[in-house]
Structure 1
Amino acid sequence: MSRRPAREVVDAISTGFEEFTTPLREEPADGPIDWPGYREARSAAEERTGEKESVVCGTAKIGEAEAVVIAFEFGFLGGSLGQRTGDRIEAAFAHARDARLPVVSLVATGGSRMQQGMRALMQLQRVARAAARTRAAGVPQIAVLRDPTTGGGWATLGAGADVILALPEAQVGFAGSRVRPSGSPEAYTAEAKLEWGQVDAIVAADDLGTALERWLRLLTSPSNAAAPPPGALREAALPDTGWEAVQAARSPRRARADEYLDAYFDWREDISGDRCGGVDPGVRCGFGWRNGRTIAYAAQCGTPTLPAGFRTSARLVRLASRLAIPVLTLVDTPGAANDAAAEQAGAGGAIADLFEAVATAVAPVTTLVIGEGGSGGALAFAAPGSTWVTPDAYFSVTSPEAAAAILKRPASEVPALANQLRLRPQDLVQLGVARAVVSPAE
């Protein structure tokens, strides 16, 4: 599918494709900078592909979801972006805004059209502006990275999309294969971009239509109602002491985030990574389907949260808020990662980013504390005034062990300090931190 003709790719994932009738601007025979042989190259590309430009745009149904589709024809001058390409993409985004339809970009391009010089490169500004206006209008955008996705196509339609899917082994990178430094070809693959938090998922070509249908359904189902907090997944009595609460939250028998998410949603799709080089395997983010509507989620999985985890969660909260989708967050961490690597990766700024995303969210955010609630690294995930807690969880300004270290107390006093910290579920309700202790799930 990566190098297949654009219309074949569209037909493989959708039905009823109707191409837009975008007028083609008049151009000098050899282009705006009189490139020798450009006229012949264009004519050969038209004859070879049957297309008039490097991109085909229209509307189609992907499953039951209607979308605007932007499909690159790599056989037409390497899928390069020229002036007429910009015309078509700009018109496609305008239609998406007017019709309130999501945009699916099937990208396969070598970058800007060299034979048009700076007039071609300037199309990236047009594409970026059109995508930004569409984003501001609350219209979701999904990119599918085919082979290759390089240059400005990657740096605009690809990397700028709300959700980024990639075909296996697709070449992805800002630098094309003929101009990049020698060595490390694996860095320019979809798999590397997934590992580095720049792609949300790799999808086999045969599964692409199904994956797109699920994502379109999730991203186009706004709701004003807040997500209800999940019920507790383990029968547990409220702890008598703070130390009992800490031990219950740290028990290996306690339910974790994945179990809560699987019980809460009919089905779900994860996003991955902070888009700037990092992935935290201890944080789950994505969108799930529950009782006929979409709810976004950002869940800690019991490990110290890395800067990438905070940034990915902030990305999730902002996207959900822009699309009017409610958010569920699950708190479960001993605290933010605080080693040298976390500091170098900007732990403070990442935590601040999530605090801001939650504080400014337009869509409602609901929080359930399901395990350890360790200090600010946990609080960044919590919604003020809309936080619940399970019976086998705690929330504290710091861990009892850290409190002992700060106060220069012996380890023998840790249980007593846990009591003094008032961190039990019932204490959190009394202090106004949590609204209630949730009952067992039905």
Structure 2
Amino acid sequence: MRDLVRHLTDPGTFTPLTVAPRTQPADGPIGWPGYDATRARAAQRTGEDESVLVGTAELGGVPVVLISFVFGYLGGSLGERTGDRLETAYRTALERRVPLVSLIATGGSRMQEGMRALTQLQRVARHSAALRDAGLPQLAVLCDPTTGGGWAVLGGAADVVIALPGAQVGFAGSRVRPPDADPAAYTAESQLATGQIDAIVPPERLRTTLTGYVTALTRPHPGAPPPPAPLTDTPLPQTGWAAVQAARDPRRPRADAYLGAYFEPGPGPLPLSGDRAGGQDPGLRCGIGLRAGRGIVYVAQRGTATTPAGFRTASRVIRLAGRLGLPVLTLIDTPGAANDARAERAGAGPAIAETFTTVATAPVPITSLLIGEGGSGGAMALAAAGNTWATPDSYCSVIAPELAAAILKLPPEQVPQLSDTLRLRPQDLAALGVATVVSAPPERRTPDTE
């Protein structure tokens, strides 16, 4: 793992931390036969005297504390001396107020030390909570394999979790799973698909990506983010139905285009993915990016009905932003919250309620921009009170005009007229005090948009 440490960190910046040696009885705390000899062979084979390296370093000029597991030393397992090193790393990060970055490759707790090994998980959890309370970011890189308590306590508890392609990731290691377990469930790819990690990053991009995260997480943008400018010079709609048609136009710029234009290139917008409860909504894109060298967290709907997993992901990401002092940009574009039977079984109501509450109580400024459809509570859940903007090719309504017609038992041909009655155009939203219309940049303005 020293090669990986050298690859990721700025040249010459890694400095090992001093950890007081622990005196243990012969063959460890439970007298496991041959344990001392096993450790001696592991040290000779790896050139390391424990299963983790800890030290200080810099990533792109950002000071960090680094934990790097040595899988060749007893499978990267956690014992008492491992716990000593991990505690030193966490304490140093807290004292210096810098991010903690963990490069994890472990099979779990060390059975040769019995329950004394397992209690190291409690020890790590306590120090992880202290960093969380102090508003300091924790990042984890999941190498192959990452299983057991190391995944559950160091990996799963991190604020940002990225994995190497094909890495084995799961609480159960390969030798202790049920005999009929699907091995595909214990992979980085499966963990990404089920909302447990943020991204899979190939080794050649790991340094750039990790540096991008620590830079954005530690350099918050001051104040509320400015709203993105419209990406078209579309004039304000003359009728409500024209507003609906403009927002539903498949050629209209979507969230990905807005994020690409808003944030700096380089690593670009970096993902914060999944609800950490088994769900991921492909119609919601969350992450963090740099604007003028400063970090802004984003939550962006992509034009589809937002699922309960999407709302839970949005809440998780906004809470993280609040804890780390990062402002938030939300891009609103949805016909509404998913309302099928699957969504109801997945807790649509509580998930939407959680997002409303998270946005309303966020301790950091939030800027919202309506860039397309704004369907009912599914859109309003992500709208910042008093700082919501709307592009000329957007609309927002208490209910979609077609659904309003169905409720009122009106024929389809009356939907356009009902769109006017609903007062859903951007300029109507401004008149109602719900949103401010954002203008196109001067170089793209036409007489129709003045």
Asked if 1:382 corresponds to 2:383, the answer is: yes
Counterpart contact for 2:60–2:215, Cα < 8 Å = no
* In structure 2, distance between residues paired with 1:20 and 1:269: 30
User: Match for 2:414: what amino acid?
Assistant: E
Residue 349 of structure 1: how far off its partner (Å): 1.8
Asked if 1:392 corresponds to 2:393, the answer is: yes
Cα RMSD, aligned residues only = 1.3
Asked if 1:138 corresponds to 2:139, the answer is: no
For residue 193 of structure 2, what is the aligned residue in structure 1?
A: 195
Query: Please, which runs of 5 or more residues in structure 1 have no aligned partner?
Result: 1-5
User: Match for 1:148: what amino acid?
Assistant: P
User: Match for 1:365: what amino acid?
Assistant: I
Residue 334 of structure 1: how far off its partner (Å): 0.3
Residue 93 of structure 1: how far off its partner (Å): 0.8
Asked if 1:441 corresponds to 2:436, the answer is: no
For residue 5 of structure 2, what is the aligned residue in structure 1?
A: 10
For residue 259 of structure 2, what is the aligned residue in structure 1?
A: 261
User: Match for 2:210: what amino acid?
Assistant: L
Asked if 1:237 corresponds to 2:235, the answer is: yes
For residue 358 of structure 2, what is the aligned residue in structure 1?
A: 357
* In structure 2, distance between residues paired with 1:259 and 1:283: 14
The Cα offsets for residues 233-258 of structure 1, whole Å up to 9 and x where unpaired, read as 11122222222211111112222111
Aligned residues: 436
The Cα offsets for residues 316-356 of structure 1, whole Å up to 9 and x where unpaired, read as 11111111111110110000111111112221122122112
SS in 1 for 2:437: coil
User: Match for 2:32: what amino acid?
Assistant: W
For residue 157 of structure 1, what is the aligned residue in structure 2?
A: 154
TM-score using structure 2 length: 0.94
User: Match for 2:401: what amino acid?
Assistant: P
Counterpart contact for 1:224–1:324, Cα < 8 Å = no
SS in 1 for 2:363: coil
* In structure 1, distance between residues paired with 2:349 and 2:109: 38
User: Match for 1:135: what amino acid?
Assistant: R
For residue 448 of structure 2, what is the aligned residue in structure 1?
A: none
For residue 50 of structure 2, what is the aligned residue in structure 1?
A: 53
* In structure 2, distance between residues paired with 1:385 and 1:133: 34
Asked if 1:26 corresponds to 2:27, the answer is: no
* In structure 1, distance between residues paired with 2:262 and 2:207: 25
User: Match for 2:14: what amino acid?
Assistant: F
SS in 1 for 2:101: strand
SS in 1 for 2:78: coil
Counterpart contact for 1:108–1:149, Cα < 8 Å = yes
Counterpart contact for 2:199–2:272, Cα < 8 Å = yes
Counterpart contact for 1:224–1:364, Cα < 8 Å = no
Residue 179 of structure 1: how far off its partner (Å): 0.4
Residue 89 of structure 1: how far off its partner (Å): 0.7
Counterpart contact for 2:69–2:103, Cα < 8 Å = yes
The Cα offsets for residues 79-114 of structure 1, whole Å up to 9 and x where unpaired, read as 111111111111111110111111110000000011
User: Match for 1:115: what amino acid?
Assistant: Q
User: Match for 2:204: what amino acid?
Assistant: D
For residue 298 of structure 1, what is the aligned residue in structure 2?
A: 299
Counterpart contact for 2:99–2:138, Cα < 8 Å = yes
User: Match for 2:213: what amino acid?
Assistant: W
Asked if 1:418 corresponds to 2:413, the answer is: no
For residue 71 of structure 1, what is the aligned residue in structure 2?
A: 68
SS in 1 for 2:223: coil
* In structure 2, distance between residues paired with 1:135 and 1:441: 40
User: Match for 2:92: what amino acid?
Assistant: H
Paired residue for 2:204, among 203, 206, 227? 206
* In structure 2, distance between residues paired with 1:389 and 1:105: 41
* In structure 1, distance between residues paired with 2:319 and 2:441: 29
The Cα offsets for residues 354-381 of structure 1, whole Å up to 9 and x where unpaired, read as 1122112111000010111000000111
SS in 1 for 2:14: strand
Residue 63 of structure 1: how far off its partner (Å): 2.8
Moved more, 201-210 or 374-383: 201-210
User: Match for 1:438: what amino acid?
Assistant: V
User: Match for 1:405: what amino acid?
Assistant: A
Residue 403 of structure 1: how far off its partner (Å): 0.9
Residue 260 of structure 1: how far off its partner (Å): 1.0
Query: Please, which runs of 5 or more residues in structure 2 have no aligned partner?
Result: 443-450
Paired residue for 1:119, among 92, 106, 116? 116
Counterpart contact for 1:165–1:201, Cα < 8 Å = yes
User: Match for 2:246: what amino acid?
Assistant: A
* In structure 2, distance between residues paired with 1:303 and 1:421: 22
SS in 2 for 1:122: helix
Residue 170 of structure 1: how far off its partner (Å): 0.8
Residue 286 of structure 1: how far off its partner (Å): 0.7
